[in-house]
Structure 1
């Protein structure tokens, strides 16, 4: 339909919708009116940062509470044309972004639901609200001059990664009235995404994260002078922790709270440090670990140069970098992605390091699908005790934690028992050791983001200082490991087999899965391997694709699977599996929106 020649009846549609709200005695606010400062700031910010012609605030907004006193922002966008309710993409999702992760402002400005979902994402990105109702309504006058209207109601939350799910069919707004609102909330709680939908959304969001990280890192690298690699890592970690918030206890730090003042105690760094301290206090992290984290952040955040107002617009460099990080990444770490978020961050940050720092370049992130394969090969379930002796950004432990939590949710039917088990998994059933302080900080951050299994992430040398005991909690107890996962630094003695010998020597039972350089099967590693096989059985050797770590290194890797505590007998049959064609096609193009493509049933092969 050509809308150019038709006159919009948006005022009539707005009058109809707002008339319903008035008749239900609901406290709605119009476009220019304030709902509350947190929501107003988020909407203003999102609009000013995201551009687009004609984009504005939602036409009508409300803040309603359910019987449990949880708040739900309701954002309503009106249009006045036929066929302008919603624009969906080929996946049947609200089409607000293209394949390159760019906003489709044409859709956001022209379609009622698309506009409302866009604003709902602003709230997910910049406020502590995690569940938002986005409503679009449009209509036209038929040949008898009668208004014909249609309504789209979508639920936008961190549980559906901010994409938005259609709730149902509605002919008016009475589902918002006091007598109906609770049953409407019960209905949205039953909206479930299928595992396939969840995986698709996760992949889409992960691609977006990659694009945002590259953009952010390029920006900081080019425009923010005087920041070393580890400074950048700490600044990103500090910004994320300061803006996470804890519902009802710690408010997320907002950009507007950084005033770039020179007054001691009120500089931008002081404000961020205070917010991090209150966050960590509420997290009940062991005191020793809190002290370590606070010291590390203070060293960077309180530096004079970062807090000094240098440019013409009266901002400190710290505020500028803080703002860039929130604008580019805010949405991703608030929507419950179980991806190895800081691992991606870590790879991107260290991709700038030259070969002069080869030691750091030796630290390579395990792709999430490989991490999940290692976890499955060690038969991890809800009762496993999993450790990693070169934990990096904790990607392998995140994969293990997800597997353990999924098993617990699938097998425990009592909500109370499940809650206790989830706490135990995160606090007592995972242990990781990392030597490099800036990488250790990323591992802690990763576990905090994923729901906090950070209790026993230790900053030490696993080969020299670690005795096999818990690092926090009951430190007199040995950690009863029965699953060992590892992607060691390949420059270590025996290509990293020294870590394997050490860890297996501290275990009495269970399984181990290690991704290792091909030459670890011979040469320098031979002596380690002989000693390992005198006590443990090699079950399988899986040849992985040569380009698995494309962009970082192109070494041939294998996954070795061991059974712990049983000598490898001469007649023991080892499975040799050639998995060098895993179904993925990898490229290493800096500007590509997706360097990993499933071209030959890769997912099925990994399953």
Structure 2
């Protein structure tokens, strides 16, 4: 049996087959252990694509380096000239269209593109996190000479599945036993720049939104008998069951759901057992494990969802839809508010009043990062959020804390210890709604697990300021408070700010809130807050910040905690109406958020202006930045803007005189007779 299929140019296929045998690689494909997992993953991926995206790769290998680490190798062959690889503008395999959909033309036509596409199947459906994708082409020129090219790419969680060039070769000897370890050492040195990773991450985030919309629409339209809570719990349960813990808990596969009616062995029972094993290995506190399982059981063990119809339960069908549409994104470890996007998409189907709609809007990731940076979050911060929603703000804080730790700690052992401490003890979030709480827990698990102190409590009535799990007798030593509160709460949400700041002894707080909170609607709360805290900055945000989700004008208020506001204190007022982004709300648009005017630089400047003052004024004008004072007993003067000076200047006077003289001269010229008129007299 040929290892590489005979195609348009049989000579190159024969050559590759010969090289696989020459370098001792052909036996790898004949092993039963060559991984039925790999074969199953490729079959599932092909099924998901509905037959699109071509056949499966022409050759599959599973090679080990000297340390015993296994690397799947996928080889795709095209027998045409100039069909090795098609790259996009950022230098990655051009496998995605603008709307985040697969570009099957490129996947089918180009060897590397096809191999990268199949490699993503292994990231999606197996435990492998690094896959070698190889594209090979060969053709004969007019003189009958054979030309061949071999392009090698690494597809991994670290590059979000986009693929990264390793190099170009003339034969497959780099895969042989003699040279494979050297090849892997080269692979380990590969890295993408932060800018390249950010572009890939942004593309993947756009794809997530497309997939979430498609999934939610499918379940909403086609899966009857499920409420919105059921949809949320099914997504959370499926993700927990399929994440696995390397070496300890194998991810649940679709084939393990047996569609049995046997009590204790129904599909829901199987999923619950897998989730319990997952939560145990993640070292989540026991009482929290029990709470999560109880919440999920209510949905997973209902009779109708476990009843087999035509050999398949509704639960298994939905499980497959979730894994097919979302698996690739949560398995590659995107550091984004994944469940926040899910949260927004789920709630887009619900009929809320405008006030309630405003309460359930996801904070954009770049705004979450703004709040985190304003509060000076670093590796030693203790951060809490009293209306945590899907935990998007805490995700942003955790990412910043981990980044600072990695940049400042050189000892691997000390760094690992610090990372565990950050996740277990330096983050706390409160969410009163049980379904949203489940999303927050899931979000933090997906992001590396800072879920230990995500608490299902009413922060205004029940929370006592102490750790929720573990150190339950100790106060949480918060020194950074970030918040996007429900605007329908008292004082447009300022009640949460007052409550949190009362429990803090130092630090900073940043809150994005309805602007009317600072212009009179929260007067009493504001006056009480300023008795013990200082307002440092007021930032007017773009009116279309939540375009398509909410229609409120918002401000960001920055406080220094536990320092009474002095009437002479300077407050920095920033008009950030133009943040550099252009937003649209077109459902079929490939990207509804575009950087059209130095958005990243503007956000950087706003942080510097708010924290350090006017010397950082570069992009913004003096009409957009103003330093003034407020009356701490007013509570209604927090939204000031730069005053307009109506006094005339000397330059104004000179211009007026100049304009007047020009007008006089013009009139004089018009009143003089022409030469013809003079001669006619």
- Which interval holds the TM-score relative to the shorter structure? over 0.9
Given the superposition, is the C-alpha separation of residues 36 and 53 from structure 1 closer, same or farther in structure 2, using an over 3 Å criterion?
A: same
Q: In the superposition, relative to structure 1, how do residues 479 and 11 fare at CA in structure 2: closer, same or farther (>3 Å)? A: same
User: In 2 relative to 1, CA 143–30 (structure 1 residues): closer, same or farther, beyond 3 Å?
Assistant: farther
The alpha-carbon deviation at position 314 of structure 1 amounts to 2.2
Residue 411 of structure 2 is matched in structure 1 by 414
**Is the CA contact (8 Å cut-off) linking 1:242 and 1:272 kept in structure 2?**
yes
1:305-316 correspondence to structure 2 within 5 Å: 305-310=304-309, 313-316=310-313
- From the superposition, tell whether residues 61 and 79 of structure 1 become closer, same or farther in structure 2 (CA, over 3 Å): same
Tell me the equivalent position of 1:229.
228
Q: Secondary structure at the match of 1:124?
A: helix
* Candidates 486, 492, 495, aligned match of 2:492: 495
1:171 and 2:180 aligned: no
Which deviates further from its counterpart, 91-100 or 327-336?
Answer: 91-100
CA distance in 2: counterparts of 1:598 and 1:300, whole angstroms: 42
Distance 1:54 1:604 in 2: 40
Contact 2:46 2:53 in 1 (8 A): no
Q: How does 1:445-456 map to 2 (within 5 A)?
A: 445-456=442-453
Q: Give the whole-Å Cα distance in 1 for the aligned partners of 2:286 and 2:52.
A: 51
Other-structure match for 2:507:
510
Q: Is the 8 A contact 1:134 1:153 kept in 2?
A: yes
- Contact 2:151–2:168 (Cα < 8 Å) also in 1: yes
Q: 1:549 aligns with which of 538, 542, 546?
A: 546
User: What's 1:3 paired with?
Assistant: none
Q: 1:298 to 1:54 in 2, by over 3 A?
A: closer
Please tell me whether the aligned partners of residues 358 and 552 of structure 2 are also in contact (alpha carbons under 8 angstroms). Answer: no
Deviation at 1:27, TM superposition (A): 5.0
Aligned residue in 2 for 1:127? 126
Distance 1:423-1:134 versus aligned 2 partners, 3 A rule: same
1:541 partner SS? strand
- In 2: Cα distance, 1:401 partner to 1:49 partner: 34
Q: Tell me the equivalent position of 2:461.
A: 464
For residues 53 and 459 of structure 2, the distance between their equivalents in structure 1, rounded to whole angstroms, comes to 57
- 1:95 and 1:51 mapped to 2: Cα distance? 20
Deviation at 1:356, TM superposition (A): 5.9
Aligned-pair distance for 1:497? 0.8
SS at match of 2:178: helix
RMSD after superposition:
1.8
How many residue pairs get aligned? The number is 599
Separation of aligned partners in 2, 1:259 and 1:178: 41
Q: Deviations over 1:436-483 (max 9, x none)?
A: 000000000000000000001111011111111111122121111110
Q: Structure 1 unaligned runs (5+)?
A: 1-6
Asked if the contact 1:246–1:252 (Cα under 8 Å) also holds between the matched residues in 2, the reply is yes
Asked if structure 1 preserves the Cα contact closer than 8 Å seen for 2:266 and 2:306, the reply is yes
Secondary structure of 1:427 counterpart: helix
1:28 touches 1:60 (CA, 8 Å); kept in 2?
A: no
Name the CA distance, whole Å, in 1 between partners of 2:371 and 2:478.
Answer: 15
| Post-superposition CA distance 1:290-336 (Å, at most 9, x none) | 000111111110000111123xx421111111111111111000111
Task: Provide the residue aligned with 2:19 in structure 1.
Answer: 20
SS in 2 for 1:169: strand
Q: Work out whether residues 494 and 525 of structure 1, in 8 Å CA contact, stay in contact via their aligned partners in 2.
A: yes
CA distance in 2: counterparts of 1:72 and 1:442, whole angstroms: 34
What do the CA deviations read for 1:122-152 (whole angstroms, capped 9, x no partner)?
Answer: 1111111110000011111234423211000
Aligned counterpart, 1:213: 212
- Decide which moves more: 143-152 or 392-401: 143-152
- Structure 2 residue aligned with 1:156: 155
Q: Which residue of 1 aligns with 2:40?
A: 41
CA contact (8 A) 1:213 1:348 kept: yes
Query: Residue in 2 aligned with 1:4?
Result: none
Change (3 A) 1:529 1:91: same
Structure 1 distance, partners of 2:214, 2:400, is: 31
> For residue 645 of structure 2, what is the aligned residue in structure 1?
none
**After the TM superposition, which of the residue ranges 408-417 and 20-29 deviates more from structure 2?**
20-29
Match of 2:64 in 1: 65
1:187 aligns with 2:189: no
Structure 2 partner of 1:138: 137
Q: Deviation at 1:175? A: 1.5
Structure 2 spans left out of the alignment, 5+ residues = 1-5, 605-681
Q: How far has the Cα of 1:522 moved from its partner?
A: 3.4
Worse overlay, 135-144 or 152-161? 135-144
Say whether residues 1:592 and 2:579 are aligned partners.
no
> TM-score by structure 1 length?
0.96
Query: 1:270 maps to which residue?
Result: 269
| TM-score, L = length of structure 2 | 0.86
| Match in the other structure for 2:531 | 534
The structural deviation recorded for 1:12 is 2.2
Say whether the 8 Å CA contact 2:279–2:289 is kept in structure 1.
Answer: yes
Q: Distance in 2 between matches of 1:101 and 1:567?
A: 50
Range with bigger deviation, 539-548 or 103-112 = 103-112
Match of 1:386 in 2: 383
> Any conservation in 2 of the 1:63–1:74 contact (CA below 8 Å)?
yes
Deviation for aligned residue 1:206 = 0.5
| CA radius of gyration, larger in | 2
Moved over 4 A (4+): 27-34, 356-361
Indicate conservation of the 8 Å contact 2:53/2:104, yes or no: no
Judge conservation of contact 1:151–1:171 (CA < 8 Å) in 2: yes
Aligned mates of 1:317, 1:161 — CA distance in 2: 31
Structure 1 CA distance for aligned equivalents of residues 47 and 519 of structure 2: 59
Name the counterpart of 2:651.
Answer: none
What is the deviation of 1:26? 2.6
Q: Does 1:365 align with 2:346?
A: no
Aligned residue for 2:555?
558
Q: Distance in 2 between matches of 1:135 and 1:169?
A: 10
- The aligned residue for residue 90 of structure 1 is 89
> Partners in 2 of 1:91 and 1:590 — Cα distance?
25
Deviations 1:247-286 (A, max 9, x none): 1111111112222221212211111111111111111100
Q: Tell me: CA distance 1:571–1:280, structure 2 relative to 1, closer, same or farther (3 Å).
A: same
The DSSP-based 3-state class of the residue aligned with 2:60 is strand
- Measure the CA separation in 2 of the matches of 1:358 and 1:279: 38
Please show how residues 229-308 of structure 1 align to structure 2 within 5 Å: 229-308=228-307
Whole-Å separation in 1 of the counterparts to 2:26 and 2:413? 37
Query: Does the CA contact (< 8 Å) of 2:479 and 2:508 recur in 1?
Result: yes
Do the aligned residues in 2 keep the contact of 1:212 with 1:329 (CA within 8 Å)?
yes
Equivalents in 2 of 1:357, 1:300: separation in Å?
29
The answer on whether the counterparts of 1:31 and 1:59 sit within 8 Å (CA) in structure 2 is no
Which 10-residue stretch deviates more, 122-131 or 140-149? 140-149
CA contact (8 A) 1:516 1:557 kept: yes
Question: C-alpha displacement at 1:28, in angstroms?
Answer: 4.8
